[in-house]
């Protein structure tokens, strides 16, 4: 149960890379994490603002094209709106490439794993049109800068992000007694979706001490949170339900205001049930499906003592003996398996940038779907499953094996010698049957595929 750079990379990053040494110590991991986010600067992704601009522009061209369907100007406009969609789709694919390259090349791999963890906790995705390409920017702007801060800040940022408001229908919820409804007698009303998921998934957890009444009251408190036509966050007083609203016994505001929404979110973040929920999720994700109770207890206590200081939680996680047991536990989810393979193969941003759309589809998007994890399409607001049983299925294992055998040779010019690849990827302590199989394989591609398919690579 001692720290090794190899275990640090394997369990808390994306595995060993031939390009760099693992971190010297857990302290070193945390120091790097607390420092500047270098890899994001060197491998940038498209901003949310750029997507918003494209949304506005495309809407304008579409509107014109619809009004002038049979004219040459109309057809030109229609082509332009298609082009814009195509560009944003290309940016989305480039986002996938950049994210994979970051995971492959970073010296700060724990950061990338934390990004994936919190992006899953605050799952939000676009449900149609070009918003389906927005998740990368959402994660980049609402999750990534908040990784080392306080949970409450991340919560407020994610819950009020336009993509979340869209995903969980908050942008169509209006207070039944709001100014707008009373004045114009419009046929719109309350939608509980976001309020429910904030309580159930983002804060207290489904076992938490809340009732349907709390959901309702929080939904009423949330009215006013919405987005403008270009998907910028706005608080609209005229659609907000006049308060006060009582959530978990605490009453917020007599008039509608963003300040009350934020106060309620911060109170939810500080709730002991939230501490327990977050502690359990971190331990399950990074350690095992059944983590030690004292680890959860220590995380929970630290959360409460530090007002949800995330760096302190990571420190507790890395300080616990369970972090450094040599026995591998959790299966890597498919997208992590693919990223870890790229890292093991030393794949660079240039290698990936050369891939055409069809290559990306055949080499990544389709295989990920077959493995059970379509890229950026989580099944619901609760994100991807954590249990190994969700991933270790005949189909999942078959898809991983297929990928491991056939895809690496299409990504790098010269595949490494399989025997050396065992050492570089799994270290000197690699199980003997893997060493044997890698040598006995009938081709280099099969040898590499066998190493990547081995439980010692698939689990962490």
Partner 1 sequence: MVAPLFNRRSVLTQAGLIGCSLAASPLVTPMAFAKAPWETRLVVIILRGGLDGLDVVRPQGDPAFADLRPTLNAGNDPIDLNGYFALHSGMAALMPLWHRGELGFVHAVSTPYRDKRSHFDGQDLLEAGTDRLSGTVRDGWLNRMLQLVPGLEADTAYAIGNDALRVLEGPAPVANWAPEANLRLSPQALQLAQLVMERDPQMHAALAEALMLSQDAEGDRRGGRAHEQIARFAASRLRQDARVAAFSLNGWDTHRAQGRALRRSLGVLSDTILTLRQDMGAAIWEKTAVVAVTEFGRTARENGTGGTDHGTGGVMIMAGGAISGGKVHGQWPGVGPSALYDGRDLMPTGDVRAALGWIMRGLTGIGTPDLTQTVFPGLDMGSDAGLLR
Name the residues that contact partner 1, by CB under 8 A. 169, 172-174, 176, 187-193, 196, 200, 206, 211-212, 215, 369-370, 372, 379-380, 382, 385, 388-390, 392-399, 401-402, 405-406, 431, 433-434, 436-437, 440-442, 446, 449-451, 453-455, 458-459
Burial class (CB in 10 A: 0-12, 13-18, 19+), 362: middle
Residue 150's CB is within 10 A of a number of other CB atoms, namely 18
Residue with smaller CB distance to partner 1, 73 or 361: 361
- C-beta of 226: minimal distance to partner 1 in Å? 12
- C-beta of 439: minimal distance to partner 1 in Å? 10
Residue with smaller CB distance to partner 1, 137 or 446: 446
Rounded Cα distance between 164 and 160, Å, is 7
Calculate the alpha carbon distances from 353 to 28, 83, 182, 350, 411 in Å.
Answer: 31, 21, 55, 5, 11
- C-beta of 443: minimal distance to partner 1 in Å? 8
Rounded Cα distance between 40 and 99, Å, is 9
- C-beta of 115: minimal distance to partner 1 in Å? 24
- C-beta of 105: minimal distance to partner 1 in Å? 27
Residue with smaller CB distance to partner 1, 308 or 418: 418
H or E, element range at 43: none
Rounded Cα distance between 14 and 105, Å, is 10
- C-beta of 393: minimal distance to partner 1 in Å? 5
Residue with smaller CB distance to partner 1, 90 or 398: 398
- C-beta of 175: minimal distance to partner 1 in Å? 10
- C-beta of 43: minimal distance to partner 1 in Å? 30
- Own/partner contacts of 356-361, CB < 8 Å, gap of 24 or more, are 357/90, 357/93, 359/410, 360/93, 360/96, 360/97
SS3 of 15, please?
A: coil
Residue with smaller CB distance to partner 1, 126 or 157: 126
Question: Left (φ > 0), alpha (ψ -120 to 50) or beta: where does 346 sit?
Answer: left
- C-beta of 145: minimal distance to partner 1 in Å? 29
Calculate the alpha carbon distances from 108 to 234, 342, 423 in Å.
Answer: 35, 16, 22
**Nearest to 215, CA basis, from 168, 155, 160:** 168
Residue with smaller CB distance to partner 1, 191 or 217: 191
Who contacts 415 (Cβ-Cβ below 8 Å, separation ≥6)? 345, 408, 409, 421, 444, 445, 448
User: Do 418 and 439 meet the contact criterion of CB atoms below 8 Å apart?
Assistant: yes
Residue with smaller CB distance to partner 1, 178 or 315: 178
Rounded Cα distance between 344 and 79, Å, is 42
Residue with smaller CB distance to partner 1, 324 or 384: 384
Residue 312's CB is within 10 A of a number of other CB atoms, namely 17
SS3 of 351, please?
A: helix
Residue with smaller CB distance to partner 1, 35 or 431: 431
- C-beta of 209: minimal distance to partner 1 in Å? 12
Residue with smaller CB distance to partner 1, 59 or 459: 459
**Nearest to 46, CA basis, from 123, 83, 99:** 99
- C-beta of 402: minimal distance to partner 1 in Å? 6
**Nearest to 281, CA basis, from 382, 197, 378, 371:** 382
User: Do 163 and 122 meet the contact criterion of CB atoms below 8 Å apart?
Assistant: no
* DSSP code string of 99-164: HHHHHHH-S-HHHHHHHHHHHHHT-----SGGGGG-HHHHIIIIIGGGTTSBHHHHHHHHHTSHHH
Residue with smaller CB distance to partner 1, 83 or 433: 433
- Radius of gyration from C-alpha coordinates of the chain: 24
Residue with smaller CB distance to partner 1, 291 or 308: 291
């Amino acid at each position: 149960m001692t720290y090794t750079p190899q275990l640090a990379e394997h369990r808390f990053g994306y595995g060993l890379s031939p390009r760099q040494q693992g971190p010297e110590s857990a302290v070193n991991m945390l120091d790097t994490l607390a420092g500047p986010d270098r890899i994001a600067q060197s491998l940038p992704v498209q901003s949310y603002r750029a997507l918003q601009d494209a949304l506005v522009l495309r809407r304008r061209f579409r509107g014109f094209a619809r009004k002038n369907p049979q004219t040459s100007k109309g057809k030109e406009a229609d082509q332009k709106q298609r082009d814009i969609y195509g560009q944003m789709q290309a940016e989305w694919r480039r986002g996938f490439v950049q994210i994979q390259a970051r995971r492959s090349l970073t010296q700060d791999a724990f950061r990338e794993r934390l990004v994936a963890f919190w992006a899953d906790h605050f799952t939000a995705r676009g449900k149609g049109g070009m918003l389906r390409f927005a998740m990368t920017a959402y994660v980049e702007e609402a999750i990534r800068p908040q990784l080392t801060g306080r949970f409450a800040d991340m919560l407020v940022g994610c819950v009020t992000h336009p993509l979340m408001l869209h995903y969980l229908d908050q942008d169509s919820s209006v207070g039944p007694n709001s100014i707008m409804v009373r004045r114009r007698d419009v046929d719109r009303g309350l939608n509980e979706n976001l309020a429910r998921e904030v309580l159930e998934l983002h804060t207290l957890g489904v076992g938490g001490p809340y009732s349907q009444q709390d959901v309702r009251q929080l939904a009423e408190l949330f009215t006013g949170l919405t987005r403008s036509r270009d998907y910028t966050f706005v608080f609209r007083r005229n659609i907000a339900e006049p308060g006060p609203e009582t959530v978990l016994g605490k009453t917020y505001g007599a008039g509608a205001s963003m300040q009350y929404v934020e106060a309620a979110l911060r109170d939810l973040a500080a709730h002991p049930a939230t501490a327990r929920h977050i502690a359990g999720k971190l331990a399950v994700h990074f350690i095992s499906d059944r983590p030690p109770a004292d680890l959860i207890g220590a995380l929970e206590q630290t959360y409460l003592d530090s007002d949800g200081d995330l760096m302190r939680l990571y420190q507790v996680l890395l300080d616990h003996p369970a972090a450094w047991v040599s026995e591998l536990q959790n299966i890597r989810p498919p997208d992590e398996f693919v990223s870890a393979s790229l890292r093991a193969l030393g794949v660079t941003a240039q290698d990936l940038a050369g891939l055409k759309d069809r290559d990306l589809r055949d080499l990544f998007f389709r295989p990920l779907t077959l493995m059970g994890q379509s890229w950026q399409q989580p099944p619901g607001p609760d994100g991807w499953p954590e249990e190994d049983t969700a991933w270790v299925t005949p189909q999942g294992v078959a898809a991983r094996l297929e990928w491991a055998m056939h895809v690496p040779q299409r990504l790098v010019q010269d595949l490494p010698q399989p025997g050396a690849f065992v050492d570089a990827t799994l270290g000197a302590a690699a199980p003997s049957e893997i060493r044997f199989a890698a040598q006995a394989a009938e081709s280099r591609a099969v040898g590499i595929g066998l190493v990547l398919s081995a439980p010692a690579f698939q689990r962490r």
